[in-house]
Amino acid sequence: MSNSDINKIPLGKLLFERLSKVTKSVFGVPGDFNLRLLEQIYEVPELEWVGNNNELNAAYTADGYSRINPHNFSCLITTYGVGELSALNGIAGAFAENVSVLHIVGSSALRARAVADDGNEMDALFGTVHHLVPGKHTFRQDHDVYRKAAEAYSCYSESITEEDILQGTVQDKIDGAIEAVVANHKPGYLFVPSDVAERLVTCDLNKPLDLYKYKSKNLNDNEKKVLNLLLDKVYKSENPGFVADYFLKRHTSEVIDLLEKTNWDCYSTPASRGLCLDETLENFKGVFCNEKSPKGVFESIKKHDLVLHFGSKINETSFRYSGKNEEINNWLATQDICFLGRDFAMIGFKKELIKNISGCKVFNRFLEVLDYSKIQKIIKSKAEQSRGQLYSDSYKLGEMVMQEDRLFEQEVSYELSKNILQKGDIMLCEMSSFAFELENIKLPSEGRIICQSFYASIGYALPATVGVCKALKDYNMNNRVLLLQGDGSAQMTLQELSLFLKYDLNPMILMMNNSGYTIERAIIGATSSYNDLTAEWDWQKMLEAFGDSNKDKHETFRIGNYDELKTYISEKGTKPLDKLHMVELILDKFDYGNGLLVFLGKKSADEAM
């Protein structure tokens, strides 16, 4: 390393220089502990500060941005205690949903920490720091109390110290934070004391970030074992099926190439829609979620003598395993199924569990060494079969009886599949009753669905849509964005509507006005007051209240029946969006879609279709 490569620059500038390698926007809320740090962002013209209305919304926005950013990364900055704790729910959601978000916290000054750690109790008594909770049984405040609270929700948690500045290891911690959150698909934390942002530190701005470390490493013994087991099963199989789950999201082109070469029947999952494979492939058979799969999908997958469930993200709302269902237990117990997750493999259902592996490394090597000549017979026999329907029966919603004078969720689902969604559209769905209809929506080529279905924090989708739209704009992508938003959950995070206007972001917002919390009504308390909204809001005037009084940047529509929906679609619904569309859909408060009833066990998949 030459001397010209090593410089001394303000710590804050170094942080933003490194962030500029993996993002173009930084989200958050200013506070007195991060102000000196935020001043440094203006020294890095490649970055834009995007100020949110509160810290929880900032976390949701960063989550959405990371899902679209080609670097699979986002960043938010909050202030000590009151700010970072407000964001913690959003960070926990990113942790549960495996989204790479770096949370930078402006924390207490090094000099204040020194008083608390090293001074006598009288100094500590008169040296308390605001925003920091007191100790239970001592005058001393624990300046790491919030970091400890966040450890369970992060893959990386470090603070900048005096030793880092003196020993030249600040960049190591910054780069380590960025690399960790990308490599682990998880949030991480970096705490920056309020009195260090302007300190000069050594740096090497030309040093590349190592974002995908697994690509360059040899397989360990466990990974070799998994690889050999998978190859052996594939070569022996006569009718394999391939389930592409969430953790193949960084291998889309490789997955499509594999499926085009092998012609294996393939399936997506609720967590992986549009992430891992193109659902317009002729061998795509539908969305797999066990016995709760749409009609035809469960029957199809049971016909395979081998199921390769790769990129496995096993949870209640995606894999939908229920120990109570004898049919699914019998099927899984007898099916030759192999799971390859982010850090584990399982050969057979609940049989051989192999840990301490990198699923990405194993999948990469699987593709490198797969001998297609050993599966030529399978390819030929599959190609000779009659294809029949292009998609599974799960998409036959056109057979339902429409009611022209009212509007139902399944009519919206049908129109999304048949008419609204266009090539490349990105659809976000709030954790609403409609989220359980997503398996019945046919995705176009390059389309994608984003739904925080597992952590399921209502209010997530609206600010996440801000992040999605901002990432598309930052990286010059022209995808349309649709948001399926429930009226109840929208009231949680409504403030971020203002960011759509400020940054000229133009999604189509389908605001499902069903006067309350429909999932909860379907579970219990259908007419109980706790499932009602506190007030009925006027969605037609909402964006005017947020500053667009002349409607220069948005249009509004109110749709109360199926005919009005079809009119909107024919006139506006399939065209590029040059303004934000607020499309209010008036639905019945007891309109429980079939998908929700199936998930709750109140209707079988066969009864739903």
Indicate the annotated binding residues for Mg(2+). 487, 514, 516
**What gap in Å lies between CA 298 and CA 325, rounded to an integer?**
14
Q: Which residues are annotated as a binding site?
A: 487, 514, 516
Within 13 A of 172's CA, how many CA atoms are on the CB side?
7
- 3-state SS string for 358-419: CHHHHHHHHHHHCCHHHHHHHHHHHHHCCCCCCCCHHHCHHHCCCCCCCCCHHHHHHHHHHH
3-state helix, strand, coil in the chain (%, to 5): 40, 15, 40
Range list of H helices, 98-161: 110-118, 121-125, 145-150
Q: Name 188's bridge partners.
A: 102
Vertex 166 angle, CA 164 and 170, to 5°: 30
User: Two tokens at 244?
Assistant: 């592409």
**Cα angle: 511, vertex 491, 76; to 5 degrees:** 100
- H/E segment holding residue 198: none
List of long-range contacts for 536-539, beta carbons under 8 Å, 24+ apart: 537/487, 537/491, 539/487, 539/511, 539/513, 539/582, 539/584
Could you give the C-alpha distances from 567 to 301, 370, 509, 539, 555, in angstroms and in order? 39, 51, 17, 20, 15
**Separation CA 200–CA 10 (nearest Å):** 4
Other CB atoms within 10 A of residue 133 CB: 11
Task: List, in order, residues 6 or more apart from 471 with CB less than 8 Å away.
Answer: 25, 64, 65, 66, 67, 68, 69, 74, 477
Residue 179 token pair: 């690399």
Per the CB < 8 A criterion, the answer to whether 107 and 33 are in contact is: yes
CA distances from 545 to 15, 179, 512, 538, 542 (A): 37, 41, 20, 10, 5
Q: Are 100 and 73 in contact (CB under 8 A)?
A: yes
Residue appearing with tokens 């709750």: 600
The backbone torsions φ and ψ at residue 316, rounded to the nearest 5 degrees and listed phi first, read -60, -40
How far is it, in rounded angstroms, from Cα 392 to Cα 277? 16
